[in-house]
Amino acid sequence: MSGATPKSPRVLAISSGGGHWVQLLRLRPAFEGCRVTYASVRRSQASSVPGHRFHTFPDATRWSKVGLVRMAVKVAWIVVRERPDVVISTGAAPGYFAIRLARLLGARTIWLDSVANVRELSMTGRAVGKHAHLWLTQWPELARPEGPHYHGSVL
């Protein structure tokens, strides 16, 4: 748990499965000394983050309205329950929900657009970026003065 104390920042690191999750895991050194809770779609992913709290939410694609509502409800429950100081997401829809709600509750928020978005930002990234306190892209060509900003990549 790398020296986290009761006064350490509470971080909620949340993403979909697959590539978003692999990218989130590659940021772990940035969370050292924090109390980190992870959230993603499958219980088995908890084995990648031993010693940390882990929540799951139902997966959904952008084409399933019912699925997205169920996801949003569970993500909201996780945010309210964890009351993070900082929320960080690498995508996609669950990060959107978590960042919008957590910000209303006073958290500081980070959106890292996926490294897969080489030529243009993700649709979710464009929608949530201006709501994130720190809005990052992983490709320098996509950086703009008003955000997203470029500070390196997961590669």
Partner 1 sequence: MIFVTVGAQMPFDRLVLAVDLWARGRGRHDVYAQIGDAGATPTHIAWTRFLEPPEFERRVRECHAIVAHAGMGSILTALEHEKPILVMPRRGALRETRNDHQVDTAERLAATGKVHVAMDEHALPHALDDLLAHPTAQRIGPHASHDLITAVRGFITKGNA
Q: Which residues are near partner 1 by CB under 8 A?
A: 9, 11, 17-23, 26-34, 42, 44-45, 47-48, 59, 61-62, 86, 88, 108, 110, 112, 114-120, 122-123, 133-134, 136, 138, 149, 151-155
Q: How far is the CB of 141 from partner 1 (least distance, A)?
A: 11
Q: Quote the least distance from Cβ 72 to partner 1, whole Å.
A: 18
- Which residue spans within the chain are E strands per DSSP? 10-15, 35-40, 53-56, 86-91, 108-112, 134-137, 149-150
Query: Among residues 33 and 77, whose Cβ is nearest to partner 1?
Result: 33
Query: What's the CA gap between 77 and 100, in Å, rounded?
Result: 13
29 and 2 in contact (C-beta within 8 Å)? no
Task: CB nearer to partner 1: give 131 or 149.
Answer: 149
